[in-house]
Amino acid sequence: FPGQIDLDGIAVNVRYRFAPGTDDDGVSIEVTLGLLAKIQQDALDWLVPGFFEEKCIELIKALPKRTRKQLAPVPDRVAAVFPSLIRVDRYRRGRLLLAFAQILRDRFDIVIPVSEWNVDRLAPFLRMNVQVLDNKRGVIDQDRDVEALKSRLLARLEERMDDGLRAKFELTGLTIFPDMGLPESLVLDESGDHLSVYPVLVDQKENVDFRLDSDQKRQQRSNRQGLCRLALLSERQSVRYIRKEIEKETPLLHQYATLGTRDQLVDEVLRNTAWVAYFQGSDIPRSRGVFEERLKDRRGQLVETYFELIVRVRTVVARRFDTAREVDDLSSKTFARARRDMEEQLLRLVPHNFLSTTPYDRLPDLIRYLDGMRYRIDHLRGKVGKDETNTEIIAGWQVRYARLTDVGGNDDALVRLRFLLEEYRIVLFSQVVGAREKVSEKRLEREFEPLEMEAGLR
């Protein structure tokens, strides 16, 4: 029963109270409003050692009977695996339910799907309570669902940041890497309270702004764009050369016009050329010295990377252009459902910013997916019924994916899931084209479940 626990580098006070039926019965941690954004539900689910074994027992008791009876007697089964759960290299690392299920599977050869866990059936005292305190240690709000707590209170944090704090730290019009660096997060002491904020670089085309954000979810994407812009501003001669080269791409410019403007294409190509040349596959630079050293070490790679990238861009845009025309030609009402589905697929696959939404090494896969669409069109006649059945199947997965993207989260995991769905489309509609990896409903369920659990969608 520790008096403090460490959550992602933050030491927070722990308070215990035996008061069944009250909001703070059991274990509570105390945090300030400014640190609330850094508290993650995954870490809280591990509770504290003194209550943890009882929680594991109750988690198993809440399983469906067909699974629960395989783990009888429950206290003995939990006692057998508990030492493994509280090992230093496992305790409070990652998601409790996934770790617990894996240990039970390894020890007893029992598979527990993520969907069978029922945390809502636990007694309140077996779920960590989070109390947000003001400067006088009064409780502003509390909840055992940290995301619900954040949604209620983070708007207040934004107001505090707007009240002079942003002006103290933020910078505008940067053309070189900021002097203070680009830390993953900052904990600021503001009138005795600690505020956790996330520095971001915001691309403004001609320059970059350094801003503070209360939401870490926006940080990765924004920093990528800002770093690329700073790199381009440092390589003006190469940028001028690349711009002239893009102007020679007459067929590409014509075909891209159905997606976006010439300026959008030029900007997409330049920023993503910079990303591949300087940052892809490496940790992003956190200081000006590291940033400048990175550009120096890779001097000359910008133009070289451009010529590699533009080949892929030409191919993707041309194939998308031809595929879009074939989709448009599906004028019969018989094909209306298939046409709508493929129109939506095209928008997802190759939007105007497809270079920013598609990892560089996955660009060739876009060609294969577009070829899969054309195969589907060529073989649609006489198979409309089967096509509609498959369309219904994939539509259900797309709805689930859309819910995940609305919530936000791990960008890399969402990208992986998006491409897995495209591979499943190949399996459903155009197997002859060939999927990159094996995909089935069962595998998709395994991939979706943990992400949906983490996002609070289950």
In the predicted model, residues of the chain with pLDDT beneath 50 are none
Residue 193: predicted pLDDT: 64
pLDDT in tens, 214-236: 777 788 889 999 999 999 999 99
Q: How many CB atoms lie within 10 A of CB 242?
A: 24
CB hemisphere CA count around 292 (13 angstroms): 9
Instruction: Decide: 197 and 186 in contact? Cβ < 8 Å.
Output: yes
If you ran DSSP here, which 8-state letter would residue 5 be given?
E
With 0-12 / 13-18 / 19 or more C-beta atoms within 10 angstroms meaning exposed / middle / buried, residue 54 is: middle
Please state the pTM of the whole predicted model: 0.75
Instruction: Decide: 127 and 119 in contact? Cβ < 8 Å.
Output: yes
Residue 249: predicted pLDDT: 98
Residue 191: predicted pLDDT: 60
Residue 190: predicted pLDDT: 62
CA distance 343 to 190: 51
pLDDT in tens, 350-397: 999 999 999 999 999 999 999 999 999 999 999 999 999 999 999 999
Q: At what angle do helices 49-61 and 74-85 cross, to 10 degrees?
A: 130
